[in-house]
Amino acid sequence: MTVKTNVATSEDSNDPTLNDTVTTISLTFTEKIEPKTITDAIKLYRIDKNGNAVEEPSIIKIDAADPMVIQINNKAMSPLTQGETYQLTISRDLQSKSGDSLASEFVGYFATNYQLNLAGNMDLNNERTQIHIISDIHLGIDDAYTSTVANRQPLVDYLDQLNASPNVKELVIAGDFLDFWMLPMDYTMPATQSAFYDAVAANNKTVVDAINRIIQSGAIKVTYTPGNHDLLATDADLARIFPGINQARDSMQGLGTYVTGTNSEIVIEHGHRYDFFSAPDPISNRDITQNGTSILPSAYFYARIGTSSIAEGFPKTTNTFPELKVDKTDASQLNIYRYAQVWKALLTNIPINESYADATITTNIDGFTQTYAVNDILPHQNEDGTLGMNLYQDIENTWDERQTINGVKVNIPVSDAITKSADTAFIDSQAQTQIFDTDPTKRIVVFGHTHHARITAMSNAANQKTIYANSGTWSDHATGNPTMNFVVISPPKADSDIEIVNLYQYATDKTVTQWAEGQAITNP
């Protein structure tokens, strides 16, 4: 005799299968069941915080319409409590009418997911435990160019609902918050960087006010970590605009990692430190800017060019990318060539009216004062046949040092860093390489940066299940991906052993949809 359940289960107690609402557990056997053998043969247990199986008082009966089906409900005939791990056992004492039994005892583990309700979830006992993570909001200085306009009011609505929720403990804003990149090449910058960020705040006053209401209420801890699009925003800038906000910053400007959770098992960062084109660059160009703090990575200039292309309607262009020759036996030269090919692929998709040779990119930021041409960023052929660059000269040889300065734990080979920079899966994989593989105490990692909202199971050096999530974006458009996403982490309740991670999408009508299947870990 064999059995199938309507609830997804796992044989591994450390990896229970996460199910949404579970009210009735149906066991379908291949033979008619003998009612007299049900007693003590089928048990449902809840797993407590110490891993002990505590029997769940249940009603277990044969389905009146089908003698091959057994149904299990709790005594209240209500859905099983959310945020719990359960163990289902069926012993060989259970027999069919013909006297058959299971070949071996059935033991299955499953967990019950939370149904998100920003107005409050009764199974959370009116306690503040949940952590919400948002990223890549991209609030800009000018609505003619910013990538978040239509989604700004829904963001305010979400934040206001969050502020009123009785279950939210933390809100983490994981970078690319106040955007200084998405501007056309000829945009006139404010006189100072602080003036720039004040202007961004003024242009997005409704969002700023909503976040400040949360901070001022004092019930929810609000934390900010830097992203690449706001890597010049200083501690003072954020503190001035959002008094009382917590900031998780590294010693290197433009980077930060926030560690939270009951046992510091959760790591949240933007993810750009692993991106060759977007990580802070404290080495290149300082001889040009003549200051000791310049960190703008080359992707900043890509964003400026791209914004011009959008503003110009992706025009037909006479610009061409130079054909470069390279000595492939020279590793450094080959990496410059790879860098050039990435730029060629990028620029193909963002045509502009302006000539690559003309100085059209205004700066007045991060120590840069000149107006640059696109060709200043691109590799070119020197008279002696070698490849060189005006800006970011020698970037291919300083990547290892740059990683050390930026706190990258596991060195990423420069060839991979260049050629895989646009691969979202490569950035996602750094959660495994840089965090789970190096620190077995970390069980959950959340990045932003890629705008590709997702959630997946990984593992750590101790062979424990871990969870990686990407919080997506709130930009108006995310080609091929959803927008208005957020991640929710629900730590274990007082007498539970399970921590749950979910990914959601917000809608303009203020409703929330689960975007991907949730994941759970035990004993975090």
pLDDT score for 488: 98
Distance of alpha carbon 9 from alpha carbon 520, whole angstroms: 13
Distance of alpha carbon 376 from alpha carbon 443, whole angstroms: 43
pLDDT score for 39: 86
| One-character DSSP codes across 406-464 | TT-SSPPPHHHHHHTTT-HHHHHHHIIIIIITT-TT--EEEE-SS---EEEEEE-TTS-
Backbone torsion region of residue 125, taken as left when φ is above 0, otherwise alpha when ψ lies between -120 and 50, otherwise beta: left
Distance of alpha carbon 178 from alpha carbon 436, whole angstroms: 29
CATH of 126-273+440-522, one of 3.60.21.10, 3.40.50.10490, 3.90.1300.10, 2.40.50.140: 3.60.21.10
10-residue mean pLDDT profile of the chain (524 residues): values are 96 94 96 94 95 95 96 95 96 96 96 95 92 98 96 98 97 97 95 95 98 98 98 98 98 98 97 98 94 95 97 96 94 97 95 97 95 97 96 97 98 97 95 97 97 96 95 94 97 93 98 95 89
pLDDT score for 15: 93
Q: What CATH architecture applies to the domain 3-112?
A: Sandwich (2.60)
- Annotate 257-285 with b (16+ C-beta within 10 A) or e (fewer): bbebbeeebbbbbbbbbbbbbbbbbbbbb
The terminus-to-terminus CA distance of the chain in angstroms comes to: 37
Q: Point out which residues pair with 225 in neighbouring strands.
A: 174
Task: State the residue for tokens 């961004």.
Answer: 200
Q: Following CA atoms 108, 52, 114, 443 in sequence, which dihedral angle do they give, to the nearest 10 degrees?
A: -90
Written as six digits, the tokens of 84 are: 């719990």
- Annotate 69-78 with b (16+ C-beta within 10 A) or e (fewer): bbbbbbeeee
pLDDT score for 79: 96
Distance of alpha carbon 447 from alpha carbon 155, whole angstroms: 19
Q: What does pTM read for this prediction?
A: 0.96
pLDDT score for 479: 85
Domain boundaries, the chain: 3-112, 126-273+440-522, 286-388
Dihedrals phi, psi of 311, to nearest 5 degrees: -65, -30
Own/partner pairs for 246-252, CB < 8 Å, 24+ apart?
246/221, 246/222, 247/223, 248/223, 248/224, 249/225, 250/406, 250/407, 252/280, 252/282, 252/295, 252/405, 252/406, 252/407
| One-character DSSP codes across 1-47 | --EEESS--BS-TTSPEEES----EEEEESS-B-GGG-TTTEEEEEE
Query: Hey, do 3-112 and 126-273+440-522 end up sharing a CATH topology, with the first three levels equal?
Result: no
Contact 114, 121 (CB under 8 A): yes
pLDDT score for 322: 87
